[in-house]
Amino acid sequence: MTLLAKFQLLVLALTSGLAVADFRSDLTGTNTLFPNSDGYASASQAYNRRFSRQPAAIAFPSTPQDVSAIVQAGAANGMKVVARGGGHSYIANGLGGENGTLVIDMSNMKAINIDSSANTVEIQTGNRLGDVATALNSAGRALPHGTCPYVGIGGHSAFGGYGFTSRQWGLALDPIYAIHAVFANGSTVTATDSTNSDLFWALRGAAPSFAITTSIELHTFPVPSHAIGFSYSWELDATAAGQAFLAYQNYSLSGPPSVMGSELNIGPGSSRGSISVSLVGGWYADESSNDGLDAALQPFLSQMPEPSSSEKLGNGTYIDSVVQFGGSLDTSAEPDTTDTFYAKSLMTTTGSPVSADAFNAFAKFLSEDGFDSETSWFMQIEQYGGPNSAINSVPSASTAFFRRDVLFTWQLYASSSNSQPPYPEDGFTFIDNVVKSVTDNMPADWDYGAYTNYPDDRLENWQQRYYGSNYDRLQQIKREVDPNNVFEFPQSIEL
């Protein structure tokens, strides 16, 4: 071997080794798991086991300064960087979109500071919804958010955050008035309506494409003195189910009280040709009886056959209503569960509601193909709107969360039969056809959206479905604050 060849080999060995060594030494002092570390395998498992990803490293910061150092280490080494909050992304985006991503796991950043005189709270983004609800409740306060205690506030409030209090209080991102974050170049930033207002706009609806958020500050709400869950169940043939869906839409359009939120949960029936339908929701008011709730449900229930079962859920306290829907709020007590699934969503509007034909086709498809499906599935029609909904009182252009004219958000969800991998190919076709049963019975130019917190890796035209006419402004801001696309993952805002 010539001297030159030896020298070239030496340089090659040094530089390739150095890149890794540099990256590792850049992270010295931070609690970090590398692929050969104990605990890496379980820490890199996705909630949705349809995905398996191998991050370059999973770093666990304790402070915003740690987050800044980790982001800089990743960017300097040409890596994609993502944050992970509760890890519940439907498409595993908290692990990045490809192997070799640097993951910043926020789980050591769990401070919650309540200001009882200002009725505000600052929440670090490593918290989960169970932590948030418990801490706030002890101070007599609450926020709007989803039901699963293990979902992280980081991802949830980045993309929306819907629960049964949302018609009264808005989405989880709506009460946010300040966000503390780290840019792709490692600089820390505080964004509000008056400072860094473009960033503040973008973070409320599309945060992960722009920055790693370290904490959010929100206005809180007083816990209602009477909170009660409700559940009514039916087994319906396809015709009756189609009528029930239409009646629920008509009822929702009529504007039931905003202190109530509800959804229809749909599952397989006990025989081919039927499906199970239940109305589930919550009532949050300052009164001591259920009379107001019963009166508010009457216009819908009077259109329905006798339910096979009905119950009120909970002891009347706000926190018990949270427990009734989500189970124990203590997320340190048990390990999180996982699933293997594919889901799509539809956001259907108040302005062009779903036709009777579309509801009938949806009910018929589920009662036949749904009965035959090998998957384990559920469908939900979540009530966002009605004329008095707080979600819809925010104009579409005032935050990055565009879909403000929504009456219903539909979730169409199928798991492998045992919730383990592999996911069956016909699970994709089944969910595609559930959606088609609706869209094929609506005009070709029908405007509907998709929910960013139920991301769908196979969604066509996702830019429009998620972000509508907000997408251009999101791209402009992306080019300004992350020109090298450090925060890139599937369906991140493009340059």
Q: Which residues bind ligand FAD (CB under 6 A)?
A: 47, 82-90, 93-94, 106, 125, 146-148, 151-152, 154-156, 158-163, 207-208, 212-213, 453, 489
Q: Between β-strands 120-124 and 212-219, what pairing exists: parallel, antiparallel or unpaired?
A: antiparallel
Among all chains, which residue has been given the structure tokens 């946010």? 176
Among 114, 139, 178, 247, binds ligand NAG (CB under 6 A): 247
Strand blocks (E) in 39-145: 57-60, 81-84, 102-105, 112-115, 120-124, 141-142
The entry of ligand NAG, ligand FAD, none that residue 320 binds, CB within 5 to 8 Å by partner kind: ligand NAG
The entry of ligand FAD, ligand NAG, none that residue 161 binds, CB within 5 to 8 Å by partner kind: ligand FAD
Q: Minimum CB separation from ligand FAD for residue 413, in Å?
A: 10
Tokens standing for residue 96: 């990045």
Tokens standing for residue 21: 């060594």
Tokens standing for residue 272: 């081919």
Choose the stretch contacting ligand NAG; rule: CB under 6 A; options: 179-187, 345-353, 392-400, 430-438. 179-187
Contact 278, 264 (CB under 8 A): yes
Cα dihedral sign for 183, 188, 191, 194? negative
- Provide φ and ψ at 394, rounded to 5°: -95, 125
Q: State the binding string over 358-397 for ligand NAG (x if CB under 6 A, else -).
A: ----------------------------------------
Output 348 or 411, the one with its CB closest to ligand NAG: 348
Residue 121: CB atoms within 10 Å: 23
Residue 82 binds to ligand NAG (criterion: CB under 6 A): no
Output 171 or 361, the one with its CB closest to ligand FAD: 171
Residue 198 binds to ligand NAG (criterion: CB under 6 A): no
Binding residues for ligand NAG, total number by CB under 6 A: 20
452-481 residues near ligand NAG, rule: CB under 6 A: 480-481
Output 361 or 481, the one with its CB closest to ligand NAG: 481
424-453 residues near ligand NAG, rule: CB under 6 A: none
Output 155 or 281, the one with its CB closest to ligand FAD: 155
Q: Minimum CB separation from ligand FAD for residue 384, in Å?
A: 10
Strand order in the sheet with 341-349: 309-313, 226-237, 274-285, 260-268, 376-383, 406-415, 341-349
Output 43 or 83, the one with its CB closest to ligand FAD: 83
The entry of ligand NAG, ligand FAD, none that residue 370 binds, CB within 5 to 8 Å by partner kind: none
Distances (CA, A) of 338 to 88, 335, 375: 9, 10, 16
Output 188 or 463, the one with its CB closest to ligand NAG: 188
Residue 250 binds to ligand NAG (criterion: CB under 6 A): yes
Q: Minimum CB separation from ligand FAD for residue 178, in Å?
A: 14
Choose the stretch contacting ligand NAG; rule: CB under 6 A; options: 48-56, 81-89, 260-268, 390-398. 48-56
Alpha carbon of residue 229 to chain centroid: 22
Distances (CA, A) of 435 to 91, 352, 441: 19, 17, 10
Distance CA 414, CA 410 (A): 13
Distances (CA, A) of 127 to 130, 180, 332: 8, 15, 11
302-361 residues near ligand NAG, rule: CB under 6 A: 303, 315, 317, 319-320, 323
Q: State the binding string over 289-308 for ligand NAG (x if CB under 6 A, else -).
A: ----------x---x-----
Residue 54 binds to ligand NAG (criterion: CB under 6 A): yes
Note the maximum CA span of the chain.
92
Cα dihedral sign for 213, 191, 112, 159? negative
Among 31, 52, 65, 108, binds ligand NAG (CB under 6 A): 52
Output 203 or 259, the one with its CB closest to ligand FAD: 203
Distance CA 130, CA 328 (A): 8
Amino acid (1-letter code) at residue 195:
T
Nearest Cα to Cα of residue 399 among 192, 120, 180: 192
Residue 264 binds to ligand NAG (criterion: CB under 6 A): no
Choose the stretch contacting ligand NAG; rule: CB under 6 A; options: 49-57, 140-148, 159-167, 456-464. 49-57
Contact 82, 130 (CB under 8 A): no
- Provide φ and ψ at 261, rounded to 5°: -135, 145
Q: Tell me which residues touch ligand NAG (CB under 6 A).
A: 52-54, 99, 183, 185, 187, 247, 250-251, 254, 299, 303, 315, 317, 319-320, 323, 480-481
